[in-house]
């Protein structure tokens, strides 16, 4: 793991009806990240999403919120990555994760997509699963037939608070991730 992260993507669905749903945890993260770095996200049609660029230690860092629906997230990721010649292993994708308890966080490079349509499309468009993932736990409804309704609904106030706390904790790890301090970041993010 020696690559520098050059793009951070938050996954979600566009539109006010999805704004507060669990599936938009990645959008919530990017909004907070942009606020923290005083970056303004602007809609960019050629990148199929809202984009911001900041400079950290002389290197460009891109923030992206795809404006496609979740299952077409790869269209935005691939467009920005190809235009700025960003390699898959220089991309961090932040997304909601059913298989992690609410409020918990996992960070990893590569792996499967766990049935997550956003990740599936990004893997297909990039031609590899080898990008970083910051997985924000949202819990599982207990029955796979309930998953779609679950991710497309608002979390309870208690769960929303746990997700917000996980986002705040994740934001504290961003400087470590950008510096390539992977072990320290993993230790911090995976701790309770």
pLDDT tens-digit map of 137-156: 999 999 989 998 999 999 99
Taking the C-alpha atoms of residue 54 and residue 75, their distance in angstroms, rounded to an integer, is 22
In Å, how far are 20, 51, 157 from 154, measured between CA atoms? 6, 25, 9
Query: What's the CATH code, domain 7-190?
Result: 3.40.50.1470
Given the DSSP bridges, would you call strands 59-66 and 105-109 parallel, antiparallel or unpaired?
Answer: unpaired
Would you say 117 is a known binding-site residue? yes
**pTM of the predicted structure, to 2 decimals:** 0.95
Instruction: Give the H/E segment covering residue 81.
Output: helix 73-83
With beta carbons less than 8 A apart as the criterion, state whether 107 and 132 touch: yes
150 is in an annotated binding site: no
Annotation says 190 is catalytic: no
In the block, which residue shows the tokens 């269209």? 75
Confidence band (pLDDT; 50, 70, 90) for 192? Answer: confident
Region for 57 from its dihedrals, namely left if φ exceeds 0, alpha if ψ lies in -120 to 50, beta otherwise = left
User: Residue 66: in which H helix or E strand, if any?
Assistant: strand 59-66
pLDDT digits (tens, 9 = 90+) for 2-47: 568 999 999 999 999 999 999 999 999 999 999 999 999 999 999 9
What pLDDT sits at residue 3? 65
Q: Is 18 annotated as a binding residue?
A: yes
- Residues in contact with 121: Cβ distance below 8 Å, sequence separation at least 6, in sequence order: 70, 71, 72, 73, 74, 75
Q: How many CB atoms lie under 10 A from the CB of residue 9?
A: 29
């Amino acid at each position: 793991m020696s690559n520098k992260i050059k793009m951070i993507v938050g996954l979600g669905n566009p539109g006010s009806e999805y704004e507060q749903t669990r599936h938009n945890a990645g959008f919530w993260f990017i909004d907070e990240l942009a606020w923290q770095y005083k970056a303004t996200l602007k809609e960019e049609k050629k990148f199929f999403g809202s984009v911001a660029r900041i400079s950290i230690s002389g290197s460009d860092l891109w923030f992206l919120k795809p404006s496609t629906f979740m299952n077409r997230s790869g269209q935005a990721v691939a467009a920005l990555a190809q235009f700025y010649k960003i390699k898959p292993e220089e991309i961090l994708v932040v997304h909601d994760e059913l298989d992690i308890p609410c409020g918990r966080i996992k960070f990893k490079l590569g792996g499967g997509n766990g049935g997550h349509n956003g990740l599936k499309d990004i893997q297909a468009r990039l031609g590899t699963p080898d990008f970083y993932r910051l997985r924000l736990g949202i819990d599982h409804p207990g029955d796979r037939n309930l998953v779609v309704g679950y991710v497309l609904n608002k979390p309870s106030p208690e769960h929303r608070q746990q997700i917000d706390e996980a986002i705040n904790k994740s934001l504290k790890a961003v400087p470590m991730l950008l510096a390539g301090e992977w072990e320290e970041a993993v230790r911090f993010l995976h701790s309770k």
